[in-house]
Structure 1
Amino acid sequence: MQKWIMFVVFIFASLLSVYLIIFSLPEKPKDETEGLPEGVTLMKVVASNDFVFDKPEYRVKAGETVRLVLQNKSGIHGIEIAEFGINLQGDKLQQDVTFDKPGTYEIKCSVACGIGHDTMKSVLVVE
């Protein structure tokens, strides 16, 4: 009798394991650069409700065409780089830009997102 119960438990555990393996595996990461036009690089900025961007500094080369993409990890945010006339928010969350002026530029949140909004800043370095 005990062997039969152990056999049933073993079969159940095996079926549960197969189910979890098949249906609970995380999705493969997507190549976000796939489909970009030739000569265009991706600069992804991730914003969160911790009132920070994912990096304190972003670097690009002068003259390089960049697809600037904003991803809101949590909350609703925007990015503004005033010197280049960039303001991504709402339905417009990406823009192709050629950064032609070397220097250091401030990236700030352009959507009033809460009490930490004024400190939500990063830096773009165009080399």
Structure 2
Amino acid sequence: MLRRIALVCAAGIMVVFILSACGTEKANQEQQTADVKLIIKASDYKFDQTEYRVKGNQPIQFSLESTGNHGITIDKLDLSLDPTNPNQVITPTAGTYTFECSIACGLGHKDMKATLIVE
């Protein structure tokens, strides 16, 4: 019986540590700020530009303004935006990154492509 109580207490402590770590990561993401902002607008199965340019090696706030259900994911930059997470601050490295709408949004979905050029 004493062993069972010890196991339950240990499990409870582990859950508290895990939840506090998740909260800290979220807080750190929310505290990140950037002087440079890039807004990407998505609607009618297209992005507002076919090409976006930013300077690299500096924090940039990427924002998705979407009419409809659209998203963007660039795995190589750990960038993921969608209607539930429309803003993210990252420090991108130089390169050319093609991205597409990451949410199956309808008949024109396959045509939603653009390029991010980080100089």
TM-score, reference length from structure 2: 0.68
User: Which runs of 5 or more residues in structure 1 are unaligned?
Assistant: 1-35
1:110 lines up with 2:105 in the alignment: no
Which runs of structure 1 show a deviation greater than 6 angstroms over 4 or more consecutive aligned residues?
none
* Amino acid across the alignment from 2:98: E
Structure 1 partner of 2:52: 58
Spell out the pairing of 1:1-127 with structure 2 (5 A cutoff): 37=33, 40-49=35-44, 51-72=45-66, 74-100=67-93, 102-127=94-119
TM-score, reference length from structure 1: 0.64
Q: How big is each residue's C-alpha offset from its partner over 1:36-65, in whole Å with a ceiling of 9 and x where there is no partner?
A: 94x52010000002x110011111112021
Computing the radius of gyration from Cα coordinates, the structure with the larger value is 1
Name the CA distance, whole Å, in 1 between partners of 2:40 and 2:77.
16
Q: How big is each residue's C-alpha offset from its partner over 1:70-118, in whole Å with a ceiling of 9 and x where there is no partner?
A: 001x211111112112121131110001012x11101211111011111
Name the CA distance, whole Å, in 2 between partners of 1:90 and 1:104.
24
Q: CA RMSD in A?
A: 1.6
Name the CA distance, whole Å, in 2 between partners of 1:126 and 1:80.
15
User: Which runs of 5 or more residues in structure 2 are unaligned?
Assistant: 1-31
Give aligned pairs, total: 88
Name the CA distance, whole Å, in 2 between partners of 1:93 and 1:81.
14
3-state SS of 2:40 partner: strand
* Amino acid across the alignment from 1:43: L
Structure 2 partner of 1:10: none
